[in-house]
Structure 1
Amino acid sequence: MEKLIVSSSPHFNGGRTTQNIMLDVIIALTPAMIASVILFGIRAAALILTCVAACILFEYLCRKVMKRPQTVGDLSCVVTGILLALNLPVTLNPLMAVFGCAAAIIVVKQMFGGIGQNFVNPALTARIILLNSFPSRMTHWVQPFDYAATADAVTTATPLGILKEGGGELPSYLDLFLGNTGGCLGETCALAILIGGAYLIARRVISPVIPVTYLATAAVFSALFGRDPLFDLLSGGLLLGAFFMATDYTTSPLYFWGRVIFAIGCGALTMVIREFGSLPEGVSYSIILMNILTPLIERYVKPRAFGSPKKVRKGGAKE
């Protein structure tokens, strides 16, 4: 007689394992990693490797100390390390990046039980912690193709920073598409992110509902605020967040309408923060806020089980 095994989400029907899925995500992130090395040099590769190694080490030590089965082999910690690195500036001190990895793996992930039980995205939460802990270092940008040492590098502003300050020449759409702008490692090259997102959708690792709805909502609000929708879509971490962070299985809704509501909330909050907030970017905060609201969204969109009686409201009306 076969045993019925009950475990934490995400749940899948079929032969795919967590390791298979995470491997697909790593493959999808490869174009963005390659682009970051081309744009920012060997320092980008060093920062990515540092984050990945730190996340693997922290996951291994946590599981060891907590006397729980090792989960390093499922590759989820590798994905967290890559995503965190791609959300960092190339000039960030590696020790600060390691601190962010500790926050992502130990605090956000393992203290809540490990993969499938964290309620917010570990990489984005770590980025917010680093942004508030080391604001000057987390907003220090350099020109692409400037491979000089950190002290000699030519500093620049991100496209959204230029727009927010209202000074300087904005980059062209082509520069935004190819990544010839300042920014985090993985957010500048829209082409690389779109290739990776298309791969995930083709492999059915993610559904297009969240990224398409997220981007469409952001474009609509950008137009309503009198901004340039295409510029907003290609700038900052919007594409990276829409395809790789907002679609996280654990922290996003399971049901179709839940995903739609979640993505609309992400898109609206992103543009509200960009337009009215003190920071030029709003992707990280918007996704984290919607992560927190995911259980509430699921509660109201969860379909009624077949054959179950309808709830009766006060006054005798059925829902």
Structure 2
Amino acid sequence: MKTKNTIIDTNFNFPGQKSVYKGKVREVYTINDDLLVMIATDRLSAFDVVMPKGIPYKGQILNQIATKFMAQTEDLVPNWLLATPDPNVAIGHLCEPFKVEMVIRGFLSGHAAREYKVGKRMLCGVVMPEGMKENDKFPQPIITPATKAEMGAHDEDISRDDILKRGIVSEADYEILEDYTRKLFQRGTEIAKSRGLILVDTKYEFGKTKDGKIVLIDEIHTPDSSRYFYADGYQERQDKGEAQKQLSKEFVRQWLISNNFQGLEGQTVPEMSDTYIETVSERYIELYENIMGEPFVKADVSAIHTRIERNVLRFLKAHY
């Protein structure tokens, strides 16, 4: 496995191209003011910092999980997606994104657990019950939004009241975002359960189409946006105070923490050896196969930029 066969950056010039937005992981090309070509790169982001090296097949994995889950939830919530002409590419309607991420948590894990450990009992204006242990289930899932940061900046917790007070989202739109978030999380929980998994927490992003319809955009239920536990043995591990067996990129965060990096000022990203990168890639493939309940088929990465460009051009020529 060669890390050079990864897609870290793109510089395409498609017909009708108006602009390019480069996020932490995805690169989004606007075509003719009505279409988005979203390319999932192999970049890895943790603690809101993009790591220097790419992870082979990561972009393909994220794109395929997200697009397949969109197909499995479109009866509940409309989404932006039109087509997936390449393993790393999703094409859909141009939307104006809401400047918040809708984070929903079923369990006291990750960021919520870190806040709880330092004595906080309020997260984004939502009260967390006393007497909880890390990875305990909340009585009801809680929504803890975050402001959407630009590349290189940290997302920040924000309460519903502050979102409305600052006019980031109107109250009518926010109620739809909350409703969609709960419906998607419920469906995701059911799908995860059917695969022997627990959907612990996740985030959704939404946008508005030109005709004013609110739709799901970006990713859904991927290991980058979600945390999963294995259901088998969950309660026994909780009872014994043991760490849960996870399916998420938390293993990357823990590796970074153990190497003295949490994205804080003055800290340096630790060197990721080719051997470590290969293990991360293998973990992402394991994540895909467990989450989707099917084998992962590796795309040809011998000329990944050429492949993507050819497939996108073919779609645009046929449809536009």
**TM class by shorter-chain length?**
under 0.3
Q: Please state which structure has a larger fraction of its residues in helix.
A: 1
Q: Which structure ranks higher in relative contact order (CA pairs < 8 Å, sequence separation ≥ 6)? A: 2
Q: Please state which structure has a larger fraction of its residues in strand.
A: 2
Give the structure with higher Rg (CA). 1
